[in-house]
């Protein structure tokens, strides 16, 4: 029969040096950071509350926050590469027409409206909640640390990474008082605790950490606010033309989902003159020197008219709106006559620039009033190419952006322009499907270069078109409202400050212990501990020890009363490894 009597339990194994060191430094090294402690992996408790608690802990962890930030960055890639409905619906329609297989898939995934899609909004909101759930407890923990005091000195200072000691004839109380005054002078938070002075410094590191996370929330909020309430509209205006800030006046308009058209700032302006000058010689030839528009504007229905000048990056600010000067081109004046010589069109027609030298193209459309030689109503269209500075031998592009030698190339068409079909079309393009080109005497397509003041006669007495000497200029303006831009700038500045503080400031603690030894001589011990391994802690401790040593100089070792070298500080300094120097 086996022996079932109780046996003595085996004695606990003695703690090793690493375990003993960790236990000794547990209180001293605690709370050097406000980062939440990593819990040991365990299964969540059963029930809805347990699962919610587990999900909340996962959502507010640093790993999930970084993952969400990465997903948000990846989500912006299709928003940059794929045309978006909110920015350019025409490009989206072209993409759908060309890519008939991909377009339905993109529609289902919301890739044509990335920033308002369900999946992007979900990532955005989860990141927002994760940051808030991380910041709030860390902030309260940090406030508690600020209200508390540095922890007492560990039992064995020799186990700390940076350590030094010496013996002195000064009284322990004098050493502790001198150490307390020195540490406070060096902007440490210090206090006496038992036989030692405890001090701590570098709280701005955690301030920077929290500021960086708060700045991310500010940036996310500003971005969301700006996207929801933004507006942006573009308008091309020829010299002498005007604009009123109403929706129907814009050539192109887009806004956020929550923007109300009634919130448009009431103002109007007239473009009096555009002034652009360019470098004539040198490697910068053709580079703009001045680029400005002179306006007369008024605010409100009965506002007083004022004169102002808008330059690049110097907008006109009216209320919450900013009026920017964004583009420039030429608008030649044309006069079109019918077969009887009556004027059916006289207007300045804006042409769109194609390059830096303002080589321009456009169309002139005669929609109403024209009759052919038989008296039948008809429509005319002219394809125009304009060169502000023509150089013989180069009929393709302009040589300079200013009007030095302007020339206009015209191609004439007749027929149906397609504007009555109900299908919208661009005023800068000519639909030639139902048009017939005029032919010259040789049976070739009628095409002619005109200088200012010259006229092109249409064959068969069909009329004429004159390129007038008066060449006007046009300017493109953009009206924007970005309600979250100031907050975004503030958040970016705070993020830079927080990141710099968390990278370059180190949280560290210093302890100074002064006790009377068995021989009656005071033993001084100094030790330092930082949040991470750094050469700054030993260097700073050495500097503090040298200053304190001057106030409490070393005492001679027993038997060395006549040896002056024993009183030098280096002979009593112990390095971080514990070897006596």
**What ranges do the domains of the chain cover?**
51-142, 150-202+506-551, 210-229+484-500, 231-481
pTM for this model (two decimals)? 0.68
The alpha carbon of residue 464 and the mean position of all alpha carbons in its chain are separated, in whole angstroms, by: 55
Number of residues assigned to the chain: 581
pLDDT at 399: 92
SS3 content of the chain, % helix, strand, coil (to 5): 35, 30, 35
Residue pair 363/384 in contact (Cβ under 8 Å)? The answer is yes
pLDDT at 511: 95
Instruction: Count CA atoms within 13 Å of residue 531 on its CB side.
Output: 17
pLDDT at 455: 95
143 contacts: CB under 8 Å, gap ≥ 6: none
Host H or E run for residue 128 = helix 118-147
pLDDT at 166: 95
pLDDT at 25: 57
Residue pair 552/170 in contact (Cβ under 8 Å)? The answer is yes
Buried b / exposed e over 502-538, threshold 16 CB at 10 Å, is: beebbbbbbbbbbeeeeeebbbbbbbbbbbeeeeebb
DSSP conformation letters of 492-532: HHHHHHHHHHHHH---EEEEEEEEE-TTS-EEEEEEEEESS
Residue pair 331/473 in contact (Cβ under 8 Å)? The answer is yes
DSSP conformation letters of 77-114: HHHHHS--TTT-HHHHHHHHHH-TTHHHHHHHHTGGGG
Residue pair 259/294 in contact (Cβ under 8 Å)? The answer is no
Host H or E run for residue 180 = helix 172-185
CA-to-CA distance for 323 and 476, rounded, in angstroms? 10
Return per-residue pLDDT of the chain as tens, 581 residues: 444 444 333 444 444 555 555 555 555 665 565 655 555 555 545 577 778 888 888 888 878 888 988 998 898 898 888 888 877 777 888 888 888 888 899 999 989 888 888 898 899 889 888 888 888 888 888 888 888 888 899 989 999 989 999 999 999 999 999 999 999 999 999 999 999 999 999 888 888 888 988 998 898 889 888 888 889 999 999 999 999 999 999 998 888 888 888 889 999 999 999 999 999 888 889 888 899 999 999 998 888 999 999 998 899 999 999 999 999 999 999 999 998 999 999 999 999 999 989 999 999 999 888 988 888 889 999 999 999 999 988 888 999 999 999 999 999 999 988 887 767 777 888 888 889 999 988 889 999 999 999 999 999 899 999 999 999 999 999 999 988 888 999 999 999 999 898 888 888 999 999 999 888 899 999 999 987 766 788 999 999 999 999 999 988 766 555 544 444 444 334 444 433 33
Phi, psi of 517 (to 5 degrees): -75, 180
Return the number of other C-beta atoms located less than 10 Å from residue 134's C-beta. Answer: 21
CA-to-CA distance for 47 and 184, rounded, in angstroms? 53
Q: How distant, in Å, are the alpha carbons of 3, 421, 428, 431 from that of 363?
A: 111, 19, 6, 10
Residue pair 361/385 in contact (Cβ under 8 Å)? The answer is yes
CA-to-CA distance for 307 and 483, rounded, in angstroms? 26
Angle formed at CA 62 by CA 58 and CA 64, multiple of 5 degrees: 50
Joined together, the tokens standing for residue 259 give 């923007």
DSSP conformation letters of 158-174: GGSSEEEEEEESS-HHH
CA-to-CA distance for 463 and 370, rounded, in angstroms? 9
Buried b / exposed e over 457-493, threshold 16 CB at 10 Å, is: ebeeebbbbbbbeebbbbbbbbbbbbbbeebbeebee
CA-to-CA distance for 152 and 104, rounded, in angstroms? 67
CA-nearest of 208, 305, 242, 271 to 505 is 208
pLDDT at 268: 95
Residue pair 531/205 in contact (Cβ under 8 Å)? The answer is yes
Superfamily of chain region 150-202+506-551: Kinase associated domain 1, KA1 (3.30.310.80)
Buried b / exposed e over 372-384, threshold 16 CB at 10 Å, is: beeeeebbbbbbb
pLDDT tens by residue, 204-221: 888 888 898 899 889 888
């Amino acid at each position: 029969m086996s022996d079932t009597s109780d046996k003595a339990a085996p004695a606990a194994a003695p703690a090793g040096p690493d375990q003993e060191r960790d236990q000794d430094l547990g209180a001293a090294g605690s709370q050097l950071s406000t980062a939440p402690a990593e819990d040991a992996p365990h299964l969540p408790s059963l029930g809805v509350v347990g699962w919610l608690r587990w999900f909340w802990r996962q959502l507010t962890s640093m790993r999930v926050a970084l993952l969400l930030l990465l997903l948000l960055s990846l989500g912006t890639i299709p928003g940059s590469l794929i045309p978006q409905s909110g920015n350019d619906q025409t490009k989206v329609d072209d993409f759908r027409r060309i890519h008939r297989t991909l377009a339905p898939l993109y529609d289902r995934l919301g890739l044509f409206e990335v920033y308002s899609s369900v999946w992007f909004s979900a990532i955005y909101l989860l990141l927002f909640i994760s940051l808030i759930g991380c910041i709030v407890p860390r902030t309260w923990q940090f406030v508690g640390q600020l209200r508390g005091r540095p922890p007492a000195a560990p039992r064995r200072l020799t186990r700390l990474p940076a350590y030094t000691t010496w013996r002195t004839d000064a009284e322990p109380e004098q050493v502790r008082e001198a150490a307390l005054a020195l540490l406070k002078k060096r902007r440490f938070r210090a206090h006496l605790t038992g036989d030692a002075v405890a001090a701590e410094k570098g709280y701005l590191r955690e301030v920077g950490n929290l500021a960086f996370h708060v700045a991310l929330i500010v940036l996310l909020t500003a971005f969301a606010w700006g996207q929801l309430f933004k507006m942006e509209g573009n308008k091309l205006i020829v010299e002498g033309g005007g604009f009123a800030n109403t929706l129907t006046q814009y050539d192109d308009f887009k806004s956020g989902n929550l923007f109300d058209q009634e919130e448009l700032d009431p103002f109007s302006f007239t473009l009096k003159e555009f002034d652009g000058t360019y470098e004539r010689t040198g490697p910068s030839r053709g580079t703009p020197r001045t680029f400005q528009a002179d306006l007369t504007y008024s605010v409100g229905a009965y506002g007083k008219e004022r004169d102002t000048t808008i330059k690049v990056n110097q907008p006109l600010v009216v209320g919450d709106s900013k009026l920017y000067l964004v583009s420039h081109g030429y608008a030649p004046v044309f006069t079109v006559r019918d077969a009887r010589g009556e004027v059916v069109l006289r207007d300045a027609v804006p042409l769109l620039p194609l390059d830096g030298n303002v080589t321009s193209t456009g169309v002139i459309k005669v929609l109403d009033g024209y009759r052919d030689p038989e008296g039948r109503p008809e429509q005319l269209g002219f394809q125009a190419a304009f060169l502000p500075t023509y150089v013989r031998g180069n009929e393709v592009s302009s040589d300079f952006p200013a009007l030095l030698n302007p020339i206009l190339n015209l191609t004439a068409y007749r027929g149906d322009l397609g504007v009555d079909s109900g299908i919208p079309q661009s005023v800068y393009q000519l639909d030639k499907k139902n048009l017939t080109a005029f032919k010259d005497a040789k049976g070739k397509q009628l095409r002619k270069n005109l200088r200012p003041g010259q006229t092109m006669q249409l064959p068969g007495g069909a009329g004429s078109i004159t390129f007038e000497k008066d060449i006007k200029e046009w300017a493109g303006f953009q009206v924007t409202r970005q309600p979250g831009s100031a907050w975004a700038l503030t958040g970016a500045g705070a993020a830079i400050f927080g990141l710099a503080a968390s990278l370059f400031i180190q949280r560290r603690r210093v302890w100074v212990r002064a006790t009377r030894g068995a021989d009656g001589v005071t033993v001084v011990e100094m030790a330092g501990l930082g949040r991470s391994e750094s050469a700054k802690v030993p260097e700073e401790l050495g500097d503090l020890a040298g200053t304190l040593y001057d106030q409490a100089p070393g005492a001679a070792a027993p038997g060395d009363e006549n040896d002056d070298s024993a009183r030098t500080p280096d002979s009593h300094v112990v390095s971080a490894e514990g070897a006596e120097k």
